[in-house]
Amino acid sequence: MDTYGGHMDVQSVLLGFLMRQSMTGYDLKKAFSISFSFFSGLSYGSIYPALKKMEKLGLISKRTEIQDGAPNRKIYSITEAGRKAFLESLRSPFVFEQPKSAFLMRLFFFAHLSSEERKTIAVKYLNSIEQLHKQLEAAQPEIQERADRYQYMCFQFGLRVFQDLARNLGEVVKALENDESQNEE
């Protein structure tokens, strides 16, 4: 993945964390999970391959800390080249990304399903969104404590996105339930 094309990929996000301090892979995973996993569509599994690649490119360096009675810790630090690459990706022209929705693609073709199937799919999706929203709300105190002003703005933005999505889906489910009750008459 390149940092061109105006989007921040996993590499840019990891460099961004390392701008503040050196971190272990575990710390990076944790930082990633409480800040980006909900909104970015970047996967957890892409972290270690990205770190390996970034080390090869000279964007980060790794040192091993020997620990008594515990596995050795690998600590990653950003290099000058890494700082430059990060700031370049942060300042690159913004390209509007169309949000993708697997649910909307299905909803578009709901005419091919039974009313029962339509409702089941919509309700399942609504439940999963409500679940994510609850997880986000539960993480709020920890995020508020650790995040800087802009990171917290990002979190609040994400919270509103999930609220809107849940409300929107609720409307769809209501409409599908109305269809069902009209079919019964």
Q: What integer pLDDT is reported at residue 6 of this predicted model? A: 44
Tens of pLDDT along 108-123? 999 999 999 999 999 9
**DSSP states along the chain:** --S-SS---HHHHHHHHHHH--EEHHHHHHHHHHHTTTTS---GGGHHHHHHHHHHTTSEEEEEE--TTSPPEEEEEE-HHHHHHHHHHHHSPP---PPP-HHHHHHHTGGGS-HHHHHHHHHHHHHHHHHHHHHHHHHHHHHHHH--HHHHHHHHHHHHHHHHHHHHHHHHHHHHHHHHHHHH-
Tens of pLDDT along 56-98? 999 999 999 998 888 889 999 999 999 999 999 999 887 777 7
What is this structure's pTM? Answer: 0.72
- Residue 36 reports pLDDT greater than 90: no
